[in-house]
A = this chain, B = another copy of it.
């Protein structure tokens, strides 16, 4: 059995189990027995459980960042210094997110993993993701800044995270929500459907009117 085979089988099995039950709730024995691989192989190839978790993420995020950078390069060339509209930026991101895990049919898995990563309190994973993939997010939010010149800095920061919350929350809880939606409305939704529904909501959210001034600064302002 060649190395690539064992390593790949571990990663394939681990990502599914992690997405289904979380990191702490998935033991190395769960993974290795389902992957039909020796228990010690995980520590042999990855060093530790923590490192395995990071490897699972890297397998999605490395190609994602590569393609996203490429797509942004293309956009910038196309717009040649002019401002890229917000809708185009969001569309590009959505397309990249959809494309990357397409070959493994596992956008759902990827989104659940992202959701888990964010809800992990101790945050070794969040730190890892920020360290390795923070730069592509910075580049994206720079472009969003240019596309929304009227939005105050802080407001844009918060709105980007509001939107991130919507997307990760919805797509990572997709199965549960889909069951309810199907039962109540007899409507089967695919991830593409959901992204179609998300688009106008996200755009409206980013373009919402500014909030009232905080109440304690009202006297000074009025």
Using a CB–CB cutoff of 8 Å, the interface residues on chain A facing chain B are 19-22, 24-25, 112, 115-116, 118-123, 126, 153-155, 157-159, 161-170, 172-173, 176-177, 180-181, 184-185, 187, 189, 193-194, 196-205, 207-212, 214
Q: A167 — which chain B residues lie within 8 A by C-beta?
A: 165
Q: How far is the CA of A157 from the CA of B170 in the complex (A)?
A: 12
Q: A177 — which chain B residues lie within 8 A by C-beta?
A: 158, 161
Q: How far is the CB of A126 from chain B (nearest CB, A)?
A: 7
Q: A180 — which chain B residues lie within 8 A by C-beta?
A: 157
Q: A210 — which chain B residues lie within 8 A by C-beta?
A: 200
Q: A162 — which chain B residues lie within 8 A by C-beta?
A: 166, 169-170, 198, 201
Q: Are A211 and B197 in contact (CB under 8 A)?
A: yes
Contacts A193-B214, A196-B211, A214-B196; is A170 near B181 (CB within 8 Å)? Answer: no
Instruction: Give the interface SS of chain A, mostly helix, strand, loop or mixed.
Output: helix
Q: How far is the CB of A91 from chain B (nearest CB, A)?
A: 12
Q: Are A159 and B214 in contact (CB under 8 A)?
A: no
User: Which of B153, B163, B200, B214 sits near A185, CB closer than 8 Å?
Assistant: B153
Q: How far is the CA of A189 from the CA of B211 in the complex (A)?
A: 14
Q: Are B116 and A119 in contact (CB under 8 A)?
A: yes
Q: Are A170 and B159 in contact (CB under 8 A)?
A: no
Going nearest first, the 5 A-B pairs with the smallest beta carbon separation are A165-B169, A204-B208, A24-B24, A119-B119, A200-B208
Q: Are A123 and B154 in contact (CB under 8 A)?
A: no
19 inter-chain pairs at a CB distance below 8 angstroms, sorted by A residue, are A22-B24, A22-B119, A24-B24, A112-B121, A116-B119, A118-B169, A119-B172, A153-B184, A157-B180, A157-B184, A157-B185, A162-B166, A162-B169, A162-B201, A163-B166, A165-B167, A165-B168, A165-B173, A204-B209
